[in-house]
Amino acid sequence: MLKKPLLLMTLLACIHFSCKKESAEIQGMVKDYTGLDGCGLVIVLDDGTNLEPAILPQNISLVADNRIAIKYRVLTDRVSNCMVGTIVQILALRYL
């Protein structure tokens, strides 16, 4: 009798804790790396991490040499010609 409720609680706990959490907003600077082979605009985070944005929200464009705050998700199914950073999808972006 207790097996079904226990199984259900275990399943719900697994689902809850396996959900992807949205990244916290993080700040950085948009840099123009077009001088490097295969590169374009790259986001350099305040901790020095380079991000290569592959997907941007609709009606949002990057402008070089501007500070931004972003939320992003790492894209593991993409490859890059630039190879200077992690390929990401930008979920939210605001200029500072």
In this prediction, residue 37 carries a pLDDT of 87
What string of DSSP letters covers the chain? Answer: --HHHHHHHHHHHHHHHHSPPPPPPEEEEEEE-TTSTT--EEEEETTS-EEEEEE--TT----TT-EEEEEEEE-TT---SS-SSEEEEEEEEEE-
Spell out the domain ranges in the chain.
22-95
Residue 24: per-residue pLDDT: 86
Least confident of 6-15, 23-32, 78-87: 6-15
Class in CATH terms, 22-95: mainly beta
Each residue's pLDDT tens digit, 27-48? 999 999 998 888 999 999 999 9
pTM of the model: 0.75
**Is residue 16 very low, low, confident or very high in pLDDT (cuts 50, 70, 90)?**
low
Across the range 10-22, mean pLDDT stands at 55
